[in-house]
Structure 1
């Protein structure tokens, strides 16, 4: 999915994210930028992670624990996107003015659906191997990591997948199984290695674990506190996130 399609949809559908990028450029602090954009600190981090994951290169460069709750600034790519979006705003206004009816706008909204999957990672198709009525699609993520997605042949054809095609891999947070790097890997599963960046505990359910990958993309996993305690996992620890090829959904630009 191209930078101007996936990310522009995110910013168009969620204007607070554009405000967040603008405030990061001004404030240089995640905490201050979040407050100015009307977001909670955690929501700001979630937004930054999702935007960075969709981009081929990070839009926001950050440092945990800096002045004001964590320093942050726009990368050159982020500055370019912000400038591009401001140019697109005038074009968008002209497009909406040309819509003949409210039904036209409703149709556009249905074509740009949101997803409940917390992990949305941009990548490119490397290979497609037939597996009966299914296909095993090999995807290269930003930074060079690979994963496999098992989808139906109909889905492959509907998405017009082929080597070199840009895609977004969607993985629900509850599908990720975390293990310390010292534990043996299950070779039948996808493996993404990273470092635990932050853990958000919940009083009545699994903890939310934020994992920084070497590619600067971020994974979010929902993990029961008992499992975290079993392996003594804490921020700063290296972990392996495992998930089955059948638990990867693929999306492409419209």
Structure 2
């Protein structure tokens, strides 16, 4: 007897953030919540009760964190009628505060990833997950495949998933600030207005380093310019803005072969942080 197929479950993702110290697990949400309880209760005994755990388990966790962190996160202060108190050190407060900030960013990323990652009807786009928003119409995620250093400027070659390569010219300072290196991921951005289209001249010689062949997919006329969508050979799409006169002169129409020309200096590189 064939098994009855039920409703297809909605796929999603989840994730837990933890802090490491030289590769060892310093603490995840539970331990950081314990530190917050120490702040609020003023003692490990009361923090353990509020947290629903034994004093020994709470103290063992605090002792492990103090040892792994290199300097104490929690300290005991004797004195007073109540017999002293337990509180976070300055280092402990900074760690707890930074964890809260990173945890907020982590949760935001997981939410974005869950929203986009398992829609199996759409291609996966890390740029959408990262919520990259710029005025550049063309955004490509790729990997640095070559890096040629110069006296002032560096030439960075980016290889995209479909095999297309883009060259970018950036300053030496930008290379260092972005941490660009071979095999590192990077995002290339090109404004549509910086894309020049050419047709009918396969042996064209120009100074533009990036010459990207493709086929016109569609045209969207505007009041001043026409938006041309190019299906790039090997995969991917690219948008160019040209004048109505250029559309007529070049004979641009869906199905027409065209080459997109982009100067290396017009390619802007970015990395995720």
> Counterpart of 2:220?
200
Of 162, 168, 178, 1:159 maps to 178
Most deviating of 147-156 and 134-143: 134-143
- Aligned twin of 2:249: 230
Cross-structure match for 1:67 = none
Instruction: Report the Cα distance in structure 1 between the residues aligned to 2:225 and 2:234, rounded to whole angstroms.
Output: 26
1:159 Cα deviation after fit: 0.7
Q: 1:167 and 1:112 mapped to 2: Cα distance?
A: 15
Aligned equivalents of 2:205, 2:197: Cα separation in 1: 12
RMSD across aligned C-alpha pairs, in angstroms? Answer: 3.2
Aligned residue among 119, 122, 128 for 1:74? 122
Q: Structure 1 runs of 4+ off > 2 angstroms?
A: 111-114, 181-188
List alignment gaps of at least 5 residues for structure 2: 1-104
Give the whole-Å Cα distance in 2 for the aligned partners of 1:117 and 1:156: 20
The structure showing larger relative contact order (alpha-carbon pairs under 8 Å, at least 6 residues apart) is 1
SS at match of 2:149: strand
Q: TM-score, normalised by structure 1?
A: 0.57
TM-score normalised to the size of structure 2? 0.53
- 1:74 is paired with a residue whose SS is coil
Pick the aligned partner of 2:188 from 169, 179, 182.
169
Shift of 1:126: 1.2
Structure 1 gaps, min length 5: 26-72, 86-110
Partners of 2:205 and 2:235 lie apart in 1 by 24
By how many angstroms is 1:185 displaced? Answer: 2.6
For residues 171 and 129 of structure 1, the distance between their equivalents in structure 2, rounded to whole angstroms, comes to: 21
Q: Pairwise mapping of residues 1-254 of structure 1 onto structure 2 (< 5 A)?
A: 12=112, 73-74=121-122, 114-182=133-201, 184-189=203-208, 190-202=210-222, 204-254=223-273
1:142 CA displacement: 1.8
Structure 1 pair 132–181 and aligned structure 2 pair: CA distance change class (3 A)? farther
Q: In 2, Cα distance between the equivalents of 1:185 and 1:165? A: 32
Deviations 1:196-222, CA, capped at 9 Å, x for gaps: 0000001x2110001111233110110
Identify, as 1 or 2, the structure richer in helix. Answer: 1
Q: CA deviation at 1:140?
A: 1.1
**Aligned equivalents of 1:112 and 1:144: distance in 2?**
24
Give me the whole-angstrom Cα distance separating, in 2, the residues matched to 1:143 and 1:112.
22
Report how many aligned residue pairs link the two structures: 164
Q: Specify whether residues 149 and 186 from structure 1 end up closer, same or farther in structure 2 by C-alpha distance, changes over 3 A only.
A: same
Greater Rg over alpha carbons, structure? 2
